[in-house]
């Protein structure tokens, strides 16, 4: 734990990660300050990537977003926002062409370009290429915590810096979920879909070679990767494996989709825990281990056409559970499966096993460990959060710590998705702006004249 001295710049808000969640918040902060003609919260977002990129290793041709473009960063909050997808299209000179596409679901590449267009306008709020390495409370002599020190590493030269945050918003996304006991390798033999394009392009650059691939997983990413591989590696032998009997279509039907409406957050949050859990698990297949019906039809058709041709290079094998990965001499890998129907072991050898096994956001994110003794835990071993996505602090802990993307079990299935970003960011902004203070501390720890009276009365430095 850091002690006393307040060295480094103080920000009203430091954001960890600059994906869509914190991008939506940045847009809200800027736009609200403009419309209220008030001073903007002093904010720094820290992002380890060198520039804005939305899941860049899964951005390939043919993939589309899985929600309406009207659920962009802002429209649900302010349909007149200058950061909307429609304004982006207008500026890009494609508005009429997009309208003529007659779709609500632009490509992921285009949506990423839209996000980058917004991010560019908010560049002054972000430091890219900086990874947050530590988040520590600063305790004063009385044991009170008013500030959080955020330490971050410049990934270009390895140097470290830190700053002080009056409030923190944590939006680092999920981390790769691997089957129990398994790890990825550096040589492309075993990797997670979160690194798909960079790994495949690095280790399997010859697209005409007869590589052998095994894919593990039954969700959208698994099937997208399957399609990408058979389209781009025409000589490859590809086995797509899944534990269940068949790929399940994502339920996008109208009534079910209302589970992603913003007002569902209040509804779910207020439910008794058991009812909330039941409702969330009943609608799990709107997002998890579920695949776009159109994509399933395309892949099924491909398999059928190959059957007609007598081409047996690609296949789907269901009811196979991956139990172990064995790295072999000569750069290959042997996947040990258990056939859940035959109740027998089965091995498949390949050049690479691609794990499309999802992402994890459970428990307390390791970066927040050092704060955890000041924050309350819930019965799931997670940080307890209130309706405004704020971790509930113990007495004497003043900073507000907001979590974006880690509250699914309390706030519902939208939490890890894009559906409620504009509304969530406004809710967080409203909490922050309640105690908006402009504070500047000199780097030697001396307090400069603060604008905010509340801070001045607490007089520390
Ligand atoms: C391939 C794919 C497609 C998807 N498509 C959809 C979709 O169509 N619709 C939908 O609703 N959801 C979709 N999702 C779900 C996805 O979670 C959201 O799209 C969205 O990315 C969540 O945004 P986020 O900002 O919370 O997290 P992320 O997008 O994961 O962003 C987190 C950011 O934090 C940065 N970061 C992490 N740790 C640190 C650190 N220590 N220091 C500094 N920076 C850090 C990361 O580099 C990253 O840029 C998709 C997910 C995937 C994987």
- The domains found in the chain, sorted by start residue, are 2-174+361-458 (3.50.50.60), 177-250+288-358 (3.50.50.60)
Does residue 449 register a pLDDT over 50?
A: no
Gap between the Cα atoms of 393 and 383, Å rounded = 9
Please compute the mean of the pLDDT values over residues 266-286 and round it to a whole number: 94
352: β partners: 213
Pocket test for ligand 1, best of 45, 194, 417, 419 (most atoms within 8 A of CB): 417
Report how far residue 240's alpha carbon sits from residue 221's, in angstroms, rounded to the nearest whole number: 12
Q: Residue 285 — φ and ψ, nearest 5°?
A: -75, 10
What pLDDT digit, counting tens, does each position of 384-441 carry? 999 999 999 999 999 999 999 999 999 999 999 999 999 999 999 999 998 664 444 4
Question: In 270-351, at which residue ranges do the beta strands (DSSP E only) sit?
Answer: 314-317, 320-328, 332-339, 344-350
Q: Which atom of ligand 1 is nearest to the CA of 130?
A: 43
Which residue has the CA at smallest separation from atom 13 of ligand 1?
417
Report residue 174 as tokens: 């999920």
The two structure tokens encoding residue 460: 């520390």
Q: Could you give the dihedral angle defined by the CA atoms of residues 338, 340, 344 and 346, in that order, rounded to the nearest 10 degrees?
A: -40
Nearest atom in ligand 1 to the alpha carbon of residue 64 is: 8
Question: Distance (Å, rounded) from C-alpha 366 to C-alpha 413?
Answer: 23
Give mean pLDDT, residues 89-105.
98
Q: Confirm if 214 and 239 have CB atoms less than 8 A apart.
A: yes
Q: What CA–CA distances, in Å, run from 364 to 92, 139, 369, 406, 421?
A: 41, 21, 7, 9, 22
- How many A from CA of 228 to the centre of ligand 1? 21
Give the residue with greater pLDDT, 71 vs 380.
71
The predicted model gives 142-171 an average pLDDT of 97
C-alpha 279/C-alpha 449 separation (Å) is 51
Does residue 446 surpass a pLDDT of 60? Answer: no
User: What separation in Å is there between the alpha carbon of 15 and the centre of ligand 1?
Assistant: 14
Q: pTM for this one? A: 0.93
pLDDT score recorded for residue 455: 31
For 287, other C-beta atoms within 10 Å of its C-beta total 20
Q: How many residues does the chain have?
A: 461
Nearest CA to ligand 1 atom 3: 55
The whole-angstrom separation of Cα 14 and Cα 17 is 10
State the CB neighbour count (10 A cutoff) for residue 368.
Answer: 20
Pocket probe for ligand 1: among 55, 136, 366, 369, the residue whose CB has the most ligand atoms within 8 Å is 55
pLDDT, position 1: 54
How close is the Cα of 418 to the center of ligand 1, in Å? Answer: 9
Residue having the nearest C-alpha atom to atom 4 of ligand 1: 65
Percent of the chain topping pLDDT 70: 93
Ligand 1 midpoint to CA 151 (Å)? 22
**In percent, how much of the chain has pLDDT > 90?**
88
Spatial strand order in the sheet of 13-16? 126-127, 43-46, 13-16, 167-170, 400-403
| Token duo for residue 275 | 């009812």
At 444, is the pLDDT very low, low, confident or very high (cuts 50, 70, 90)?
very low
Q: Which residue has the higher pLDDT, 1 or 123?
A: 123
For a pocket test of ligand 1, which of 21, 48, 66, 173 has the largest count of ligand atoms closer than 8 A to its C-beta?
173
Tell me which residues have their CB closer than 6 angstroms to ligand 1.
Answer: 16-22, 46-49, 54-55, 58, 65-67, 131-132, 171-173, 221, 367, 404-405, 416-419
What number of CA atoms fall less than 13 Å from residue 315's CA on the CB side? 11
Q: Please give the pLDDT value at position 436.
A: 61
Could you give the CA distance from residue 362 to residue 360 in angstroms, rounded to a whole number? 6
193 closest CA partner among 172, 221, 213: 221
CA 230 remoteness from chain centre? 27
pLDDT for the residue numbered 381? 86
Q: How far apart are CA 51 and CA 55, in angstroms?
A: 12
Q: What pLDDT digit, counting tens, does each position of 207-238 carry?
A: 999 999 999 999 999 999 999 999 999 999 99
Strands 130-139 and 145-154: antiparallel
Nearest residue (CA) to ligand 1, atom 45: 17
Residues 170-214: pLDDT tens digits? 999 999 999 999 999 999 999 999 999 999 999 999 999 999 999
Pairing of strands 190-192, 352-355: parallel
Lowest mean pLDDT among 118-127, 228-237, 380-389, 448-457: 448-457
What is the DSSP annotation of 263-288? HHHHHHHHS-HHHHHHHHHHTGGGTT
Residue 344 Cα to ligand 1 middle (Å): 38
**Tokens found for residue 178:** 């691997």
- Provide the angle, in degrees to the nearest 10, between the axes of the packed helices 20-36 and 108-121: 40
pLDDT score for 67: 95
Tell the residue number behind the tokens 């009429």, with chain if given.
Answer: 96
247 DSSP assignment:
P
Which residues, 6 or more positions from 411, have their beta carbon under 8 angstroms from its beta carbon? 265, 268, 269, 385, 387, 389
User: So what's the pLDDT on residue 380?
Assistant: 83
Q: Which atom of ligand 1 is nearest to the CA of 174?
A: 30
Residue closest via CA to ligand 1's atom 49 equals: 19
Tell which atom from ligand 1 comes closest to the C-alpha of 367.
41
What 3-state DSSP class applies to 96? helix
Distance (angstroms) between ligand 1 centre and the Cα of 449 equals: 39
DSSP of 164-186? EESEEEE----EE---TT----T
Query: What's the average model confidence in pLDDT over 61-86?
Result: 97
For a ligand 1 pocket test, name from 18, 19, 356 the mutation site with the most ligand atoms within 8 angstroms of its C-beta: 19
Q: Please say whether the beta carbons of 251 and 282 come within 8 A.
A: no
Nearest ligand 1 atom to alpha carbon 71: 11
Query: Which pLDDT score, from 0 to 100, does residue 365 have?
Result: 94
* Residue 374 pLDDT level (bands cut at 50, 70, 90): very high
Residue 287 has pLDDT above 60, yes or no: yes
Mutational test site, ligand 1, from 52, 219, 418, max ligand atoms within 8 Å of CB: 418
| Choice among 321-325, 334-338, 361-365 with the minimum mean pLDDT | 361-365
Closest ligand 1 atom to residue 59 Cα is: 1
CA distance 93 to 108: 18
Which residue's CA is the nearest one to ligand 1's atom 25? Answer: 19
Tokens of 204: 């399997």
> For residue 453, is pLDDT > 90?
no
Q: Name which residue sits closest to atom 18 of ligand 1, judged by CA.
A: 417
- Ligand 1 atom closest to Cα of residue 111: 8
The Å distance, Cα 205 to ligand 1 centre, comes to 26
């Amino acid at each position: 734990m850091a002690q006393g001295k307040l060295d480094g710049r103080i920000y009203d808000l430091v954001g960890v990660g600059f994906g869509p969640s914190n991008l939506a918040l940045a847009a809200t902060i800027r736009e609200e300050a403009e419309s209220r003609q008030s001073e903007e919260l002093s904010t720094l977002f820290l992002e380890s990537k060198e520039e804005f990129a939305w899941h860049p290793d899964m951005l390939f041709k043919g993939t589309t977003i899985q929600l309406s473009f009207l659920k962009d960063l802002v429209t649900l909050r302010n349909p007149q926002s200058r950061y909307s997808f429609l304004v982006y299209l207008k500026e890009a000179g494609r508005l009429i062409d997009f309208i003529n596409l007659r779709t609500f679901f632009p490509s992921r590449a285009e949506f990423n370009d839209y996000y980058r267009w917004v991010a560019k306008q908010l560049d002054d709020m972000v430091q890219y290429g900086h990874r947050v390495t530590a988040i520590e409370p600063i305790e004063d002599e009385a044991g009170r915590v008013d500030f959080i020190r955020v330490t971050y590493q410049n990934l270009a030269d390895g140097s470290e810096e830190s700053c002080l945050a009056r409030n923190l918003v944590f939006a680092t996304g999920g981390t790769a979920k691997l089957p129990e006991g398994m790890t990825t390798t550096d040589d492309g033999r075993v990797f997670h879909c979160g690194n798909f394009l960079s790994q495949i392009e690095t280790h399997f650059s010859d697209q005409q070679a007869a590589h052998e691939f095994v894919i593990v997983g039954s969700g959208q990413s698994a099937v997208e990767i399957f399609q990408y591989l058979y389209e781009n590696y025409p000589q490859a032998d590809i086995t797509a494996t899944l534990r269940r009997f068949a790929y399940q279509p994502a339920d996008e039907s109208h009534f079910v989709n209302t589970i992603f409406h913003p007002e569902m957050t209040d509804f779910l949050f207020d439910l008794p825990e058991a009812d909330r859990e039941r409702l969330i698990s009943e609608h799990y297949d709107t997002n998890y281990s579920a695949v776009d019906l159109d994509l399933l039809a395309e892949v099924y058709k491909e398999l059928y056409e190959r059957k007609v041709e007598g081409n047996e290079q690609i296949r789907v094998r269901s009811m196979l559970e991956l139990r172990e990965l064995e790295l072999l001499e000569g750069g290959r890998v042997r996947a040990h499966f258990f056939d859940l129907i035959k109740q027998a072991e089965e091995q498949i050898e390949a050049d690479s096993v691609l794990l499309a096994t999802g992402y994890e956001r459970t428990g307390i994110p390791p970066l927040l460990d050092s704060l955890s003794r000041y924050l309350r835990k819930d019965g799931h071993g997670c940080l307890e959060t209130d309706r405004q996505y704020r971790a509930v602090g113990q007495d004497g802990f003043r900073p507000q710590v907001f979590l974006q993307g880690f509250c699914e079990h309390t706030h519902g299935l939208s939490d890890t998705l894009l559906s409620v970003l504009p509304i969530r960011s406004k809710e967080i902004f409203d909490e922050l702006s309640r105690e908006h203070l402009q504070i500047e501390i000199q780097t030697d720890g001396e307090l400069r004249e603060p604008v905010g009276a509340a801070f001045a009365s607490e007089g520390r430095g």
